Amino acid sequence: ESYDMGGHDTYMHKEIAEQADAVDRVLRGRLDDRFATVRLGGLNLDAREARTMRRVKILGCGSAYHAGQIGAQMIEELARIPADAEPASEFRYRNPVVDPDTLYIAVSQSGETYDTLAAVQELKRKGGRVLGVVNVVGSAIARETDGGVYVHAGPEVCVVSTKCFTNTAVAFALLALHLGRIRDLSVTDGKRIIEGLRRLPGQIAEIMEGEERIAKLAAEFADAKSMMFVGRVRGFPVAKEASLKLKEVSYIHAEAYPASELKHGPLALIEPEVPTVAIVPDDELLEKNRATLEEIKARSGRILAVAHSEQEKADDTIVVPRNEPELDPVLMGIPLQLLAYHTALALGRDIDKPRNLAKSVTVE
Binding site for ligand AGP (CB under 6 A): 61-64, 108-110, 113, 116, 159-161, 248, 357, 360-361
Name beta bridge partners: 107: 133
Three-state SS for 281?
Answer: coil
> Based on CB atoms, which residue is closest to ligand AGP, 177 or 351?
351
CB 350 within 8 A of CB 22: no
> Based on CB atoms, which residue is closest to ligand AGP, 163 or 178?
163
> Based on CB atoms, which residue is closest to ligand AGP, 50 or 160?
160
CB 317 within 8 A of CB 272: no
In whole angstroms, give the CA distance from residue 364 to residue 359: 14
In whole angstroms, give the CA distance from residue 12 to residue 320: 21
**From the CB of 275, what's the least distance to ligand AGP, in Å?**
21
In whole angstroms, give the CA distance from residue 88 to residue 107: 9
**From the CB of 49, what's the least distance to ligand AGP, in Å?**
26
**From the CB of 91, what's the least distance to ligand AGP, in Å?**
14
> Based on CB atoms, which residue is closest to ligand AGP, 317 or 360?
360
**From the CB of 157, what's the least distance to ligand AGP, in Å?**
12
**From the CB of 107, what's the least distance to ligand AGP, in Å?**
7
CA angle 357, 261, 310 (to 5 degrees): 85
Instruction: Return the axis-axis angle of helices 163-182 and 19-27, rounded to nearest 10°.
Output: 30
Three-state SS for 341?
Answer: helix
**From the CB of 5, what's the least distance to ligand AGP, in Å?**
19
Asked about 163 being catalytic, the answer comes back as no
DSSP string spanning 97-163?
Answer: PPPTTEEEEEEESSS--HHHHHHHHHHHHTT-EEEEEESSTT-HHHHHSS-EEE-------SSS-SH
Name beta bridge partners: 132: 106, 148
> Based on CB atoms, which residue is closest to ligand AGP, 113 or 311?
113
In 3D space, the residue among 324, 323, 326, 314 whose CA is nearest the CA of residue 279 turns out to be: 314
> Based on CB atoms, which residue is closest to ligand AGP, 62 or 96?
62
Name beta bridge partners: 254: 227
Beta strands of 205-353 (E only): which ranges?
A: 226-231, 253-258, 276-280, 303-307, 316-319
> Based on CB atoms, which residue is closest to ligand AGP, 110 or 343?
110
**From the CB of 139, what's the least distance to ligand AGP, in Å?**
9
Output the residue with the shortest Cβ distance to ligand AGP. Answer: 62
Tell me phi and psi for residue 317, to 5 degrees. Answer: -125, 130
Residue among 124, 288, 353, 359 flagged as catalytic: 359
Catalytic residues: 359
